[in-house]
Chain A
Amino acid sequence: MTGSIVTHLIRKDLRLHRLQILLTMAAGLVALAILRQTGEVPFVLGSTWFFVAIIVLGSMLPVATIVNERKKQTLTFLMSLPLSSMQYTTAKLVSTLLMFLAPWLGLLLSAVVLIATRNPASFGIVPILLILASLPVVGFSLILATALVSESEGWAIAATIICNSSYGLVYYLISRTPSLTVNWTGHVAVWNAAVLRFLSAEVGVVAVIVGVTFLLQSRKRDFI
């Protein structure tokens, strides 16, 4: 057997869902193409679409990879393999995060490059861009955790709705926080303390979510 069982499961997920990943990436790239046009309308359209692409990917993936295993009854097939529920959880977390983060990173980098080449004068926006784009990552891990632990489509959808409706508010609050926005109109990306704290908080939250997921999964007595 080449590689551990967890690797096999991750590869399996990547193979199974490659179409969805590609489609979302394509949508994101279209968004970026629109952003390349100058003008306010393309800017609003493009940036909205860009974030929507990331958010949609984040909401759709957990359902596709986790909830469907139970719905389509393939979970029993997987659990008949020589693995524990912890290994399953690890594989799902890793594969789903990979499937989300890879396109996410690609889109983010494309956006940064776009700004750097097309609009270097507004490069100062990059830290905020990172903060804003990272929020769906936090939301995504929450939806992912909910899907894994609850194994219920209903709960996953509820988590999705809560997250998606919160982004707007959080974005608004961020734009109203001077310590974060003070340098965003400049042409230099300034990573001040506030920005760094916010980013580390986001990372911290994700870590806690993952930790709690493992804890709750380990206490499950009826895996099927």
Chain B
Amino acid sequence: MNGLAAELNAVSKRYRYFLLDKVSLKLPEGQIMGLIGANGAGKSTTIRILMGLVHQDSGEVRVLGHRMPAGQIAAKRDIGFASEDMRLYDSMTLGWHMNFIRSIYPAWDAAYAQALLKRFSLCADQKIKGLSHGQRVKSTLLLVLARKPKLLVLDEPTTGLDPVARHEILRELTNVMADENRTILFSSHNTQDVEQISDVITFIDRGRIIDSMDKEIYLDRWRRLRLEVPLGTQLPALPGVIDVQQQGRLAVATANAFVPDLANAYENSGARVQCIQNMTLEEIFVANVEHSREEVEA
């Protein structure tokens, strides 16, 4: 029933000190995709190429049916973009910005805009230069949300915000989900936020996509197994286990393709499985990045 809101196909972009290497990505309509990666991994570059703000060196980009960057004018009519390095005009008020956007986008929902002003505790008459960081971020998001765009592309929407502001924004993002025709792509360092609201998680590191899949399936694949290893027992190298840390008789195995048989395999080798733990997205993030970097270097 749903098409793709956005698609990147083997997109590459070379900068002096950085290479975005054949990035491929599918963003299904009606879903929320969380893009995670370390600083400098290529999240912002990928997003800018998606928005048509940066022209890729090779590869195809399609957003809402338009080829980018050629179709960027039409695409941007239905995209709401906010990035962490974006600023509004200091000397003007939030209300002026709201009118400015409203005059350009016919789909502006004035009632919703007023509701957002209240929910975000913002004052339309206030000049942008008088706002705190959190208020400024919320103002930018208000301008993007009140238009009810089909696709929301957000580069670090909650970075640097206090917990209350973060919560307010996440709430609004999940409210967007009520309409199954609307899609969100957001990048974040905050793995907790990504874990909570994403339907799909995409991992990017050093210019490459290392994982992109359904969040529940992804989280389900990762486990930490705490093992007790009797003296003289050698732990077997098992498929799906990417790291084993052993100190004395205790070992911790990290698996990225867990199946129950894995635990049995360890038991059969003589080790005792003390417990099998799920991993938070943050733990997965770190383990994944370390693992993928080792692989590249090998």
Taking Cβ atoms with an 8 Å cutoff, the residues of A that contact B are: 1-2, 5, 8, 12, 16, 72-74, 76-77, 79-84, 87, 221-224
Contact = CB atoms under 8 A, between A and B. Distances in A.
A200 to B, nearest CB: 36
Given A82-B73, A82-B76, A77 B88 contact: yes
A15 to B, nearest CB: 8
Nearest to B85: A73
A72 B91 CA distance: 11
Nearest to A17: B91
B105 interface: yes
B105 A1 contact: yes
B86 A73 contact: yes
Contact of B104 (A5, A76, A224): A5
Given A16-B92, A82-B73, 7 more contacts: A8-B100, A8-B103, A12-B100, A72-B87, A77-B87, A80-B51, A80-B86
B214 interface: no
B90 interface: yes
B79, B103, B140 — most chain A CB neighbours (10 Å): B103
A2 B103 contact: yes
Given A16-B92, A83-B76, A222-B55, A74 B103 contact: no
Nearest to B91: A16
A107 B85 CA distance: 40
Given A82-B74, A84-B73, A16 B104 contact: no
B73 A221 contact: no
Given A73-B85, A80-B81, A1 B76 contact: no
A224 B72 CA distance: 14
A224 B76 contact: no
Contacts of A12: 100
Interface in B208-229: none
B105 to A, nearest CB: 7
B163 interface: no
A1 B105 CA distance: 7
A19 to B, nearest CB: 9
A12 B89 CA distance: 10
Given A80-B76, A221-B55, A224-B54, A8 B88 contact: no
A72 B129 CA distance: 11
A74 B91 CA distance: 12
Contact residues on B (Cβ < 8 Å of other chain), bracket: 20 to 34
Given A1-B106, A8-B104, A72-B87, A221 B74 contact: no
A79 B153 CA distance: 13
A76 B76 CA distance: 13
B54 A223 contact: yes
B272 interface: no
B83 interface: yes
B103 A80 contact: no
Given A73-B86, A74-B87, A224-B48, A81 B104 contact: yes
A72 B88 CA distance: 8
B281 interface: no
A16 B96 CA distance: 11
A46 to B, nearest CB: 33
Contacts of B91: 16
Contacts of A74: 86-89
Nearest to A3: B103
26 contacts: A1-B103, A1-B104, A1-B105, A1-B106, A12-B100, A16-B89, A16-B92, A72-B87, A73-B85, A73-B86, A73-B87, A74-B86, A74-B88, A76-B85, A79-B51, A79-B53, A80-B76, A80-B82, A80-B86, A81-B76, A81-B104, A82-B75, A82-B104, A84-B72, A222-B55, A224-B54
A87 B73 CA distance: 10
Contact of B86 (A5, A77, A84, A222): A77
Contacts of A224: 48, 53-54
B189 interface: no
A194 B75 CA distance: 52
B77 interface: yes
Nearest to B53: A224
A77 B82 CA distance: 8
Contacts of B53: 76, 79, 222-224
Interface in B129-150: 140
Nearest to A77: B86
A12 B76 CA distance: 19
Contacts of B54: 221-224
Interface in B37-85: 48, 51, 53-55, 72-77, 79-83, 85
